[in-house]
Amino acid sequence: MSKQSKSKDPSSKGRAVGQAVVELFDKMSLHGDAAVDIAVVKLDHLLADPSIDIDEVVELMTSVQHLLEFVLCVSSDYGFGILSIAILQRQPSTAEDYPSSLLYKLLAQLSRSLCLPYERTSDTPPVLSAHRRSIELAFSVLQAVTHLNATDALAEQMGDDPGSGRWAAKNEEKRHQKRKRSIHTGRAPPVDIVKSIIQYGAPVPTSKRQAAELVTTVVAEQTSILQEVFNMFRKEETIAFFKTTYLPIPPAPTPLTVTIPTQRTRSATTALTPFVPMTGTQQGAFPLVQPIKAALYFENADGFGAWRIQMSTRADRDLRRWRNEDAKMFDIIVNKIKDLSHGNFTKDNHKKLTGVEVDIPIYEAKMTRDSRLVYHIHCDIDFEDNVERQGLIRIFGVYTHAQIDGRFWDTMSRQLGYNGSEYRRRCIFRDRPSNQRGDYTVLPASFEVRSDTEQEVVTPSSSTTDHPDLTREDKEELHSLIALEKFVTFSQAFLNSILADQDVAHVFGVSHREKEIIEHDSSCFVIGRSGTGKTTTMVFKILGIERTYDTGSFRYAMAKPRQLFVTQSQVLAKKVEEYYAKLHQSYATAHLSPDELLEIASQSRTRRERMVDEDEEIFYTSTLPRRFGALEDTHFPLFLTYNHLCRLLENEFRHLVEQEKIDAHRASLLRDIMKLRPRPTRTRPAAYLQEERDTFLDYDTFREIYWSHFPENPLNPDLVWGEFVAVIKGSAGALKSDLGYLDKETYVGHGHSRSQTVSPAQRETVYALFEVYTKRRKLHGHHDPADRTRMLIRCLKAAGVPGKALNFIYVDEAQDNFLIDSLVLKALCSNPHGLFWAGDTAQTIAAGSSFRLGDLKAQLYDVEKNPLSISKRARPQTFYLTRNYRSHSGIVDCAHSIVELITNYWSTAIDDLPRERGMSPGEKPIFFSDHDAAKLQQSLFRDVSGGGVIEFGARQCE
C-alpha cells in the first residue's frame, strides 16, 4: 500500500505531486540521459498513488513549456501507462464542460507540439493533419450543441419520442412551429455552427437526448484520438526531437590533470610531470556511478503491465525449448505471462497450488489442457532503495499437470516463509481489484523498506527441515529453486534473446546488500566467503557503468571510462570476461527489429574456443597490445591477471626508454631501476622475450630449484615462500626499508605484526633460509614477485602512469596479492572513488599470500595520509556478504565450524566476519577417517540407495 497521507484530499495530493514532477524534471538539473533515467524512476513512484487528482498534476506540468511532452517521451512504460490511463478516464460529460476539460486542453496542446518538427505544413504526416482537423471540428460541433442546449430549439427529454401515426405528425408539426418562432425571436443557432455538425457527418439533433448522444459519440472519438496522440510521443524521432528541445546543451568537456605522487626512494626524489589521462571530473563520486541503478535494471517487455515478471533459469529453459519445438505453444506461454503482468488474477490465472496452512502461497496459471505456469508473488526493493514493491511475479517454470506435486510446493512455500513474517504479510496482501480495469485486475502495492533485521533470512535447522516425504531428486530441485536459481526480468532484451536463439546472460535479481554494493558511488571493501556474490557485484557494477556511458549523454562530455578487473587466477579472469560478454550481448538485442532477430536466429552460432592454461601463453598469444600505453578505449573493460598487468607495465617502461619517449633524466632513472641492458639487434623478439621471462622467479621455480638446496628444516615450502615474498619483502615495512626487505631484528622481533602463520620461534629459521635464498637468487639472476612490484612502484614514481590512467579497478580475490601490490593498483587509478577490493582470507589459493583485508585498509589509509596523495582522500566503505547462494546450510555450517577453530587458535590469521548462512537446508557433510583408497572411492561414488555408481560432476559437490 502506498504511504500517501490520508489527511490530504486528492486535489492537494495532485498539486503536491505536480510540483514534485516540475522540480524533478527541472531542465537545469538534467545533465544528460543518465540523470533523466533517475528522474523517470522517481516519477513512477510519484504516480503510483491512484488517489491523486491527475488534473492538478497535468496543470502544473503544462505550466512549464514542453515539460509534459518531454515526460511522455522519456517516461517508462509503467509511468506512461498510469499517466495516460488516468488522463483518458477524465472525460467531460456535457458539451458545456468540453472547452475547459483536460481532454480538449491536451488535444489542442499536444497536437500542436507534434507539428513543431515540421517547418512546412505540407511536411506534416497525413495522420497528424487529419487528427488536427478532427479536433477543430469536434470543438465546433460541441460548441453548436452548447448553443442548442441554451435555446428552446431542443425538445425536452420526456417528449423526445415522436411516436407514430397521426400523433407523430402532430408532434413534428409542433416542433417545426417552435423552431420557426425561435428564428423570429433571434434565438436560432448560428448557421456556421449547424454546418459544423453537418460536416461532422451527424444529423442536427432535435432533442436533448439526441444532443447528449452526439456529445457522447464525439467525446469518445476524441478520447481515441488522444490515445493515438499519446502513442506518437513514444516514437524514436519524436523522443529525439523533444530531448533536444527540452534538455540544455551539455557543456564542452574540460581536461583533467592528474599527478602521480612522489614516493621517497634512494634512487630519486624528483616530482613528477602531470599527465592528462582522461576528460571528466573528479569532484565527488564519479559521474557514471550515480545513475547506475537506472542503467543496469530492465523494465518489463513492451506491452507488459505494472507487475514485473522475473523468470527462473528453469523457466528460461522451458521458454527456449517451446520456442524451438512448438511456436504456437510458445506464444500461448508469452501471452499468459503478459496477462499476469497486467494483474489479471482470474480463477484460472491465480489458483493456489499449496494447502491452506502455508506461509507463502504458490500459484498456477492454466494455459492449455495440460500445461501450467507455476509462480509466486515476491516483494523486493525497487531501484531507488526507498520503496519496496509487491509487483514481482517470480515464475518457476512450465509444468504439466502430472509434474505438479502438492507436497513439493508445500515444502517450497514453507522455505520461502523463512524470509520473515513481514515478508509473508506483504506477499499475500492484495490491493482492491480495479473495477475500471476488470473484475479480477489487481494493481501491485508498495511498502516502506523493511529494516535489515526484517530482511534477514532465517535459515532453518536441520531438525526442522527434514522432509522424509520428498525424494532425493525433489530435495535437489528444492535447493536449486531456492538457492541456485537466478531470477531475471522478462524484459524486451530477455524476450529478444530467446527469439534470436542467443546464448546470453541477463542481470538477475540480487539481495538488498548486493544492490547497495553495486550502486555504491565510491571505493569499497567487500568481504565474504565463497559463493556469497562478491564477483557478481563487481561484474554488475562494471556493466552498469559501461551501459550508462553507452546509452547516456556522457559520451559527449567525457572520455570512455577505463575499467579493469584484475585477479591472480587466469581461469577466473577468463570466466568473468566470458560472463560479462554474455551480459553485454543481452543488452544489444533489446532494440532489434523482428527481421533482425530472425536473421540472427537463422545464423549458425559457432565459436572458436581455445583452452589456455598458463598466464605466460595468454600474454604472448593475446590480441591485446603488449604494453600498457598502447591500450585503447576499445579494449575496455579489461579482464586481466595481475601478472599480465605487470608485464604490460614492464614492457611500457622499457618502450619509453628504448624509443626515447621521455626526457633523458627520467630515462636514466628507469634504466637504473629496471637494470635495462641494450636489446640485441640480431636476436629475434620472441627469443629475447623468452630470455626476459626466464629470469622471473615464481613459486614453482622456487620449489624445484631452490628448496632442495636449503638446509634441512621442518617447515613447509608454501609457508616459507609466503614469508619471503609477502612479509619479509612484500609488506609495507619492507617497502619503507632502504634494503628493500625487513632486517632480521625487525622480522624476528615483535616489531612486525604481519606474520600470521609463523610462531616467533620459527622466525629465526625462516630468516636464515631467506639469507640463503637471497644469495642463490642473485647467483641465478632471478627476480621474484616482490622485486617486480617494488620495481614498478619506483618506475611509477619516476615516470608517472604511462598513457591513460584507469578510472575503475576491481580487485577480485584480493587476499591472493601482496600488500605492496595494492600500491601499484592504486597508482594506476586516477579516480579516488574507483577502487573495489573483494576477498576473503579464509579461501586463499595463491602461494605467498599472507595478509588480511584489515591490513590492506590500514596500508591504503597510511598512503592517503601522504600530503602528496593523488587527490582528495576517499575512505572506502566496508560491506559484508554473509548469504551463501552456492551451498546449503549443512555445508555452510560445517565450513563455519572450521573457521571458528582457526580463529580460536590463530585469531589474526583470517578476517573475522559475521556468521555465514545458507539459503536452503541440507544434510551435514560426512567426514572420512579411513584412508583406504578403495573404500574412499566406493564411499564417494557408490549410490547406497540404488546400488549404482555416481558419476563425478557438478552435482557431486552439492
Residues flagged as binding site for ATP: 528-535
Q: What's the first-to-final CA gap in the chain, in angstroms?
A: 40
Q: In 115-235, which residue ranges form alpha helices assigned H by DSSP?
A: 126-150, 165-184, 191-200, 208-232
The three cell numbers of residue 949 are 555408481
**DSSP 3-state assignment of 41?**
helix
- Tell me, what DSSP letter sits at residue 882? -
Distances in Å between the Cα of 102 and the Cα atoms of 21, 62, 65, 84, 108 are 18, 11, 17, 12, 10
> 679-692 as b/e, with b when 16 or more CB fall inside 10 Å?
eeeeeeeeeebeee
Residues 6+ apart with CB under 8 A from 30: 36, 39, 247, 248
Question: CA torsion 823→829→835→839, rounded to 10°?
Answer: -50
Q: In whole angstroms, give the CA distance from residue 481 to residue 623.
A: 40
The three cell numbers of residue 153 are 430549439
Distances in Å between the Cα of 15 and the Cα atoms of 61, 70, 167, 387 are 10, 19, 56, 22
Give the HSE-up count for residue 738: Cα atoms under 13 Å, Cβ half-sphere. 3
The three cell numbers of residue 802 are 604511462
Rg (CA), the chain: 36
Is residue 569 a contact partner of residue 547, using CB atoms and an 8 Å limit? no
Is residue 560 a contact partner of residue 635, using CB atoms and an 8 Å limit? no
CA neighbor of 364 nearest in space, from 354, 351, 376: 351
Is residue 529 a contact partner of residue 842, using CB atoms and an 8 Å limit? yes
Is residue 817 a contact partner of residue 843, using CB atoms and an 8 Å limit? no
**DSSP code string of 407-437:** HHHHHHHHHHGGG-HHHHHHHH--PPP-GGG
* Environment class of 475 (CB within 10 Å of its CB; exposed 0-12, middle 13-18, buried 19+): buried
The three cell numbers of residue 169 are 405528425
- Phi and psi angles of residue 783, each rounded to the nearest 5 degrees, phi first: -130, 135
Is residue 551 a contact partner of residue 295, using CB atoms and an 8 Å limit? yes
Q: In whole angstroms, give the CA distance from residue 449 to residue 387.
A: 5
Residue tagged 544489444 (cell numbers): 588
Is residue 911 a contact partner of residue 878, using CB atoms and an 8 Å limit? no
Q: In whole angstroms, give the CA distance from residue 1 to residue 87.
A: 22
* Environment class of 95 (CB within 10 Å of its CB; exposed 0-12, middle 13-18, buried 19+): buried
Q: In whole angstroms, give the CA distance from residue 512 to residue 498.
A: 29
The three cell numbers of residue 93 are 460529460
- Phi and psi angles of residue 244, each rounded to the nearest 5 degrees, phi first: -65, -40
The three cell numbers of residue 394 are 517470480
Q: In 592-663, which residue ranges form alpha helices assigned H by DSSP?
A: 594-602, 615-621, 642-658
Q: Helix (H) and strand (E) counts for the chain?
A: 37, 17
Binding-site annotation: residue ranges: 528-535
